[in-house]
Amino acid sequence: MASTPAVSEDLLAKYEPVIGLEVHVQLLTASKIFCSCSTRFGDPPNTNVCPVCLGLPGALPVLNRKAVEFAALAAMALECRINEVSIFARKSYFYPDLPKGYQISQYDKPLAEFGFIEIDLSASRINGGKKKIGITRLHLEEDAGKSLHEGFADAAHKTAIDLNRTGVPLAEIVSEPDMRSPEEAYGYLTRLKEIILYTGVSDCNMEEGSLRCDANISVRPRGQKEFGTKTEVKNVNSFRFIKQALEYEIERHIGIIEAGGSITQETRLYNANEGKTHGMRSKEQAHDYRYFPEPDLLPLVVDKKWQAAIRASLPELPQARRQRMTKEYGITAGDAHTLTLTRALADQFESAARTAKNPKRVANLVQSELLGRLKAQGLELEQSPISMAGVTASADLVESGAISGKMLKDLYDLCFERGQDFPAVYEAEGRPEQSRDTSALEKLADELIAANPKQAEQYRAGKKNMIGFFVGQVMKASKGQANPQLVNEVLTKKLEG
């Protein structure tokens, strides 16, 4: 839990937070951005290096075409405009894991600009609970190496450098300072990650550093136009911690301002164990980096033709897909949301829904019976013993009344126990069917009709939808075990007989 300086609700309400986020996403190319070294994660330190990424004198960078295409695809998914000409620049700073003494990035002419992400504000009804967060720019750059403080001999008093990561391609995505609460920042990050995952240009794995986030935060009295002085919280490794770090910073800023102090512009680190941020260094200004155009690389030209080719590979994105799926399959917005959480799940659901007799039933089964069991066993969708074809087959059996919901649950349990798909288990169990023996049902129907003469009379007087009342009673009495179709038949016969 975040431990926060005590600031009263009244004081919190007096100030408006202003938040902007910078997200680094590692692009899933096989080789680095300016050389042919592998980008594979987890290889022994300093095994994927060459004169270019080590920054040896005279080595020349050559731009990786795939990195450009991935970054442009991400930019398009974020509704950015692609600049036909963009320029690589040297960003100079000293750090032990940056052998060249500068990072090749993009500065005043980035690859893409002027995008946005729409987030849901479930608690708010303003604009239908939606808010657009502007994206200032998306640019390409190379990653730096990594300082290691553990996992090797002498780690207690030495730091080691691993340069495997040096030169791995990154897309940096900079938002406008449009967010007004830690919840909005959380919503932005969640949506951003979801969109990037759909494009397939990054695995967004935070533990492996494929997605990193820095947050800029300031507060100002509500109604004031000018921004307050901001601080930057760097390298927080989960969305939840970013939210907590922002909550902490907001209260810290307000506490200082209320006490008559002023905020120092600086970079801070969040300590998740303490739930606090700590000052790391005063924040650099852009001019400290001495940006200038990279003399070893030509301007990057992504012309209209190339842009069109990249755009052709843009998949249907999560929000559009949700809207289409609710219409196409008659499922709820909530169902569509769960079923599109990953592109793989959405693809699989749709392949099943298109062939099933009732897509809605497939949606319910996937969510309540399949995902629940997978989660309980800690399995990923790809590891599911029940394929989507199996889900379709089972949904159709319930739909036709051949098996009951309870029988389906039991069969699914067997599938997970045996690690076998539904059709195989269904066959092995001798194609079980729910009972069509009507004697018990008829007895139940007689009793219910006798116990509810008024409703029976209304039915006989022409109020045919009264059948629903009796079906409901029978289903309840049978604890959901009875076959609804059969119940209907028996009741109709009894009431009309």
Give the interface with Zn ion as residue ranges (CB under 5 A). 35, 37, 50, 52-53
Cα(49)–Cα(37) distance, integer angstroms? 6
Nearer to Zn ion, 53 or 391 (CB): 53
Cα(24)–Cα(138) distance, integer angstroms? 10
Nearer to Zn ion, 25 or 37 (CB): 37
Nearer to Zn ion, 144 or 217 (CB): 144
Q: How far is the CB of 167 from Zn ion (least distance, A)?
A: 6
Q: How far is the CB of 104 from Zn ion (least distance, A)?
A: 13
Cα(482)–Cα(434) distance, integer angstroms? 8
Q: Are 139 and 109 in contact (CB under 8 A)?
A: no
Q: How far is the CB of 27 from Zn ion (least distance, A)?
A: 16
Nearer to Zn ion, 53 or 170 (CB): 53
SS3 (DSSP) at 423: helix
Residues in the chain: 497
Cβ neighbours of 263 (radius 10 Å): 17
CA neighbor of 37 nearest in space, from 27, 47, 45: 47
Q: Are 23 and 189 in contact (CB under 8 A)?
A: yes
295-to-60, 287, 299, 452, 476 alpha-carbon distances in Å? 10, 19, 10, 90, 78
Nearer to Zn ion, 53 or 491 (CB): 53
Nearer to Zn ion, 52 or 213 (CB): 52
Q: How far is the CB of 40 from Zn ion (least distance, A)?
A: 13
Q: How far is the CB of 236 from Zn ion (least distance, A)?
A: 29
Q: How far is the CB of 91 from Zn ion (least distance, A)?
A: 19
Nearer to Zn ion, 100 or 131 (CB): 100
Cβ neighbours of 156 (radius 10 Å): 7
Q: How far is the CB of 28 from Zn ion (least distance, A)?
A: 17
Beta strand pairing call for 266-271 and 231-236 = parallel
Which tokens is 146 given?
Answer: 């990594």
Q: Are 140 and 33 in contact (CB under 8 A)?
A: yes
